[in-house]
Structure 1
Amino acid sequence: MWLVVLSVPLLPAFIVVSSRYCVKVAVLCHRALAWALRLVRGRVCVRSTHAFVFSKCTHGKVDSVLETFDLYAGTHPSLCISPQIGEALDEAVRRVRPSRVLELGMHCGYSSVRLLRLLPSAGRLITVELDPLTAELGEEIILVAGFKHSQFQVLTSSSAEAILTLRSVLELNQEASEGLNLVLMDHDPQQYLPDLLALERGELLCPSGCSVLLIYRNQRAGDLREILSYIRARPDCYCIKSKLQFMTEIFYQKESIRVDRVSRM
Structure 2
Amino acid sequence: MVSPAIALAFLPFIVTLLIRYRHYLVLLYRAVLVVWLRDRLTGTSREQRAFQYVLAHAIPGDPHHILQTFDQWCYHCEHLSCVGPDKGRIVERVLLERAPLRVLELGTYCGYGTVLLAQGLPPGARLYTIEGDPRHAAVAEKVIRLAGFSEETVSTGTGTKPSFAWETGEEMGDRGGAAQVELIVGPSEEVIPHLREKHGLVNANFVFMDHWKRSYLRDLRLLESHQLLAEGATILADNVLFPGAPHFLQYAKTCGKYHCKVHRASLEYFRAIPDGIAELRYTGTH
For normalisation by structure 1, the TM-score amounts to 0.73
In the alignment, structure 2 segments of 5+ residues that lack a partner are 1-31, 151-163, 166-179, 266-275
SS at the partner of 2:204? coil
CA distance in 2, matches of 1:98, 1:242: 20
1:185-196 aligned at under 5 Å gives the runs: 185-196=209-220
The one-letter amino acid paired with 1:129 is E
Partner of residue 184, structure 2: 155
Counting only pairs closer than 5 Å after superposition, residues 1-265 of structure 1 correspond to structure 2 as 44-76=45-77, 77-148=79-150, 149-150=164-165, 151-172=180-201, 179-207=203-231, 209-216=232-239, 219-220=242-243, 223-235=244-256, 237-245=257-265, 246-255=276-285
Cα deviation, 1:20-41, whole Å, max 9, x if unaligned, reads: xxxxxxxxxxxxxx9xx7xx79
Residue deviations 1:110-148 (CA, integer Å, cap 9, x gap): 110010001111111111111111101101111111123
8 Å CA contact retained: 1:206, 1:253:
no
Structure with the greater alpha carbon radius of gyration: 1
Q: Greater shift after overlay, 97-106 or 160-169?
A: 160-169
Q: Distance in 2 between matches of 1:188 and 1:152?
A: 21
Higher normalized contact order (CA 8 Å, seq sep 6+, divided by chain length): 2
- After superposition, the C-alpha distances for 1:145-178 in whole angstroms (9 at most, x for unaligned) are 11231411111111101101211244245xxxxx
Q: Which amino acid aligns with 1:125?
A: L
| Matched residue, 1:31 | none
Identity of counterpart residues, as a percentage?
31
Deviations 1:44-68 (A, max 9, x none): 2211111111121111111221121
Instruction: Identify the structure with the greater strand proportion.
Output: 2
| Deviations, residues 58-86 of structure 1 (Å, cap 9, x unaligned) | 11111221121111112122222221011
**Distance (Å, rounded) in 1 between the aligned partners of 2:133 and 2:245:** 23
Letter of the structure 2 residue corresponding to residue 199 of structure 1: L
Distance 1:229 1:70 in 2: 32
**Is the CA contact 1:45–1:79 (under 8 Å) kept in the aligned structure 2?**
no
The superposition leaves residues 173-216 of structure 1 with CA deviations (integer Å, 9 ceiling, x where unpaired) of 5xxxxx20111111111110110000000000012x11111111
* Runs of 4+ more than 3 Å apart: none
Which secondary structure state, in structure 1, belongs to the residue aligned with residue 207 of structure 2? strand
The gaps in structure 1 that reach 5 residues or longer are 1-33, 174-178, 257-265
Distance 2:56 2:136 in 1: 17
CA contact under 8 A between 1:79 and 1:108: conserved in structure 2?
no
**Larger helix percent:** 1
